[in-house]
Amino acid sequence: MALLHIPLHQIDETRLAALVAGGAAESRTIEYKRVTYGNAHADYSEFLADASSFANTSGGDLVLGVEAPKGIPIAIKPLTISMDQEILRLEQVVRGGLQPRLSNIAFHPVPIKAGGNVLIFRIPRSYNPPHRIIRQGNNRFWARSSGGKYEPDVNELRLLFNAAPQLADRIRNFRLDRVAKLAADDGPVRLMGDGGLILHVVPLSAFDMAPSLPLSQIVQNYNSFAPIGSESASLARINFNGVLKTSNARQRATEQRAYLQLYRNGIVEAVTSRLITLSSEKPTIFALDDGLIQEIMRALKDLAFIGIEPPYAVLVSLIGVAGAQINFGRGQWLGDWGESFDQDQYHFDEVIFETVPSTKAECAAVIRPLLDQIANASGQAASPVFDDEGRYTHPRAQ
């Protein structure tokens, strides 16, 4: 029993009490502290060792305010200090004391009815390992097993250094395999044709042990994980791979405009066909940049809501687009035409989200290299949705 599978914002006093009642021992993914860390150098070194050991292994939770002699929790002993000040202090220590820096760390104070708080510090597994302590010349690496933290040997460090490149290859190979199947019309549904856009959102945790997804909840919520171009799914069902949502409500529909497949390991595959408009004088693709920003934001928020946390790799591919042109106009206004695509398929470089963007401007800033690559493929120097200072401009401002 642990907490790592539970979204941080859902952890409350009841869940903490269940850990105590069940005698949930410290493990590879959870450690208890009766009190918070002190201000001495040894205290900060201990904190950084705990944090980096989780990041370098499988991720985990430091739970401050639980008494656990010999690693077995026996009582909640809430902290009675200012949570805001304590979070700020520990966050500054961990951000400045490790190299490379940890991203996506999170703190969650859990109010206790009797007074005070239990402070949970969640450290996700890092996909840029290994992290070493650099505070005051410490220069040490830490990893974690079921027995607690330890210093890895040379062979283990070599594996940690090689983990990130191997993961990148697995993500890219997954994308290429899926695109090849879709191009051969070997997807979960038959698509209508006329060009297609394929969006993959791959949590970097996807190739670890598969999370336990709330499949029934996801199927019943038609507004989450909706297909590209739809405000909600028209049909949803559980399938072998996870959950499939489609744009056509008919059970026996022979073709679909779009679908979204949520895999059991948290990967999102969102595909839309009929990308190319044939009613114009030229085969045309409209509003690609703004639409991508919107769809990527929506997918990331949906993943975070069900507890699949960042970082995420986002990959975009185009298939069946040879001869088509992008119209770079926005809204009702028609802009300049790009050059015709000279390839049938394009596989653009992945971008990494370390956090879930809260605004379209924030999302656009992260995927700008991707948007610029799409523009380059159409003969343009850069995406038109940014001003001269590199800021995202909303379509209504045009």
Does pLDDT of 367 surpass 90?
yes
Sign of CA dihedral 351, 364, 309, 66: positive
The 10s digit of each residue's pLDDT in 155-196 is: 888 888 877 778 888 899 999 999 999 999 899 999 887 789
23: left (phi over 0), alpha (psi -120 to 50) or beta: left
Confidence (pLDDT) at 280: 59
Q: How far, in Å, CA of 121 to CA of 398, rounded? A: 44
Confidence (pLDDT) at 33: 96
**192 is written with which tokens?**
């209508």
Count of beta carbons in the 10 Å neighbourhood of residue 66: 22
Contact 108, 122 (CB under 8 A): yes
Does pLDDT of 239 surpass 80?
yes
Q: How far, in Å, CA of 272 to CA of 247, rounded? A: 9
Q: What are phi and psi of 300, to 5 degrees?
A: -65, -40
Burial code (b: 16+ CB inside 10 Å, e: under 16) for 195-211 equals bbbbbbbbbbbbbeeeb
Confidence (pLDDT) at 3: 81
Cβ within 8 Å of residue 166, ≥6 positions away: none
Task: List, in order of start, the domains of the chain with CATH numbers.
Answer: 8-152 (3.30.950.30), 163-397 (no CATH)
Burial code (b: 16+ CB inside 10 Å, e: under 16) for 115-124 equals ebbbbbbbbb
356: left (phi over 0), alpha (psi -120 to 50) or beta: beta
Contact 274, 255 (CB under 8 A): no
Indicate the DSSP class of residue 134: -
Least confident span in 70-84, 104-118, 270-284:
270-284
Beta pairing class for 235-239 and 196-203: unpaired
Taking 3-state DSSP, the helix, strand and coil percentages for the chain, each rounded to the nearest 5, stand at 30, 25, 45
Q: How far, in Å, CA of 292 to CA of 371, rounded? A: 9
Radius of gyration over every alpha carbon of the chain, rounded to an integer in angstroms: 24
Amino acid found at 218: I
Residues paired with 43 in a beta bridge: none
Confidence (pLDDT) at 331: 56
Contact 79, 117 (CB under 8 A): yes
Burial class, 313, CB count within 10 angstroms (exposed 0-12 / middle 13-18 / buried 19+): buried
**150 is written with which tokens?**
């330890």
Please state whether the predicted TM-score (pTM) of the whole model is above 0.85: no
pLDDT tier for residue 336 given thresholds of 50, 70 and 90:
low
**In sequence order, what DSSP letters do the residues of 339-358 get, joined into one string?**
PPP-SSEEEPPPEEESS--S
Q: How far, in Å, CA of 321 to CA of 356, rounded? A: 30
Confidence (pLDDT) at 311: 84
Sign of CA dihedral 93, 83, 125, 49: positive
Contact 15, 124 (CB under 8 A): no
Helix spans in the chain (H): 13-22, 41-55, 83-97, 154-183, 215-220, 288-305, 360-377
Residues paired with 33 in a beta bridge: 64
Does pLDDT of 11 surpass 90?
yes
Instruction: Compute the average pLDDT of residues 88-104.
Output: 90
Instruction: Compute the average pLDDT of residues 209-217.
Output: 79
Q: What is the mean pLDDT of the chain?
A: 89
Confidence (pLDDT) at 398: 39
pLDDT tier for residue 335 given thresholds of 50, 70 and 90:
low
The 10s digit of each residue's pLDDT in 292-321 is: 999 999 999 999 999 888 889 999 999 999
Cα three-residue angle 22-28-31, rounded to 5 degrees: 60
**2 is written with which tokens?**
């642990």
Q: How far, in Å, CA of 135 to CA of 90, rounded? A: 13
Q: Which residue has the tokens 């597994």?
A: 125
Instruction: Compute the average pLDDT of residues 73-95.
Output: 95
